[in-house]
Amino acid sequence: MATLPEPLPQNPLPLLDQWLTDALATSRLPNSNAFALATVGSSEKPSVRMVLCKELSLTPGYLVFYTDYGSPKAEDIAYQPRVAAVFNWTEQRRQARLEGIAVKSPEEESDQYFATRDAESRIGAWASQQSRPLASREALLEEFKRVAERYHADAPESIPRPPDWGGYRLWIEAVELWVSGEARLHDRARWERQLSVAAESAFSASPWQVTRLQP
Ligand SMILES: Cc1cc2nc3c(=O)[nH]c(=O)nc-3n(C[C@H](O)[C@H](O)[C@H](O)COP(=O)(O)O)c2cc1C
């Protein structure tokens, strides 16, 4: 029966990283790096959507996702940077829940990531103002064509990152790891630490405290 390691590690992030690597390596389904990101905006109503984890930095401990800085999720984060997230790896019978603070990635990091994207993804980032109303599907395809003509689609490096598109670092303050167990005796543990502002957009972290939880 799969369980969490005994004794529980002091720092959960290497294990989270291992779980992400395992899911990417063994899953027959796409997007094993997808997680649900929950935010709260000025309406105080929670909102949740899937995004892709493009990096997990073990030290100091944040994950990175990319999006449109004008999207509703970005508006929510500007209002309330505290967010929650969950990965569900059905095939591995594992779940990871996270809580933390989202801050925009440094511009150079977003530039570097954008530079790895293919021409169509780059053009798409210019052509779409995420979640804004669209008159028709055709209007979007026309805008895509217009952007493709403005830049050289056969030379993706000529397509710069739109200023309103980039990354967020989700600084991790709490992690719960869950492994499915027989007879519903799932194994769960929650790690917590405190983040304190150390510099603009960066935090220092206290040591982790871990508690095993009933299923
Ligand atoms: C598997 C999956 C991965 C996704 N990854 C991203 C992503 O990395 N970034 C993103 O902006 N939207 C991504 N989306 C789309 C979002 O779920 C969402 O529809 C979009 O970001 C608009 O969200 P918002 O209106 O709450 O800002 C993904 C959707 C799915 C189903």
Supply the CATH number for residue 74's domain: 2.30.110.10
Residues 88 and 125 in one domain: no
Residues 187 and 206 in one domain: yes
Tell me how far the alpha carbon of residue 6 lies from the centroid of ligand 1, in angstroms.
36
Alpha-carbon distances of 137 from 68, 115, 128, 134, 140, rounded to whole Å: 19, 27, 11, 7, 5
Tell me how far the alpha carbon of residue 16 lies from the centroid of ligand 1, in angstroms.
22
pLDDT at 116: 96
Residues 106 and 124 in one domain: no
Q: Is 70 in the pocket of ligand 1 (CB under 6 A)?
A: no
Residues 100 and 123 in one domain: no
Question: Per the confidence metrics, is the pTM higher than 0.95?
Answer: yes
Q: Is 51 in the pocket of ligand 1 (CB under 6 A)?
A: yes
Say if residues 20 and 53 touch (Cβ distance below 8 Å). yes
The atom of ligand 1 lying closest to the CA of 50 is 17
Q: Does pLDDT of 154 surpass 80?
A: no
Tell me how far the alpha carbon of residue 66 lies from the centroid of ligand 1, in angstroms.
9
Domain coverage including residue 126: 117-160
| Per-chain mean pLDDT for the chain | 96
Residues 78 and 109 in one domain: yes
Residues 30 and 90 in one domain: yes
Tell me how far the alpha carbon of residue 78 lies from the centroid of ligand 1, in angstroms.
17
Tell me how far the alpha carbon of residue 56 lies from the centroid of ligand 1, in angstroms.
18
- Residue 18 in domain: yes
- Residue 37 in domain: yes
Mean pLDDT of 77-81: 98
Residues 135 and 204 in one domain: no
Mean pLDDT of 45-61: 97
Q: Does pLDDT of 53 surpass 90?
A: yes
**Count of other CB atoms within 10 angstroms of residue 5:** 10
* Residue 1 pLDDT level (bands cut at 50, 70, 90): low
* Residue 184 pLDDT level (bands cut at 50, 70, 90): confident
Residues 143 and 199 in one domain: no
Mean pLDDT of 8-35: 97
- Residue 2 in domain: no
Q: Is 72 in the pocket of ligand 1 (CB under 6 A)?
A: yes
Q: Does pLDDT of 153 surpass 80?
A: no
- Residue 103 in domain: yes
* Pairwise CA distance, residues 84 & 47, whole Å: 10
* Residue 155 pLDDT level (bands cut at 50, 70, 90): confident
Q: Is 130 in the pocket of ligand 1 (CB under 6 A)?
A: yes
- Residue 152 in domain: yes
- Residue 209 in domain: yes
Calculate what percentage of the chain has a pLDDT beyond 70: 99
Mean pLDDT of 47-75: 98
Q: Residue 169 pairs with which residues in a beta bridge?
A: 64, 103
- Residue 130 in domain: yes
Q: Does pLDDT of 171 surpass 90?
A: yes
- Count the domains in the chain: 2
Full DSSP string of 45-80: -EEEEEEE--EEETTTTEEEEEEETTSHHHHHHHH-
* Residue 187 pLDDT level (bands cut at 50, 70, 90): very high
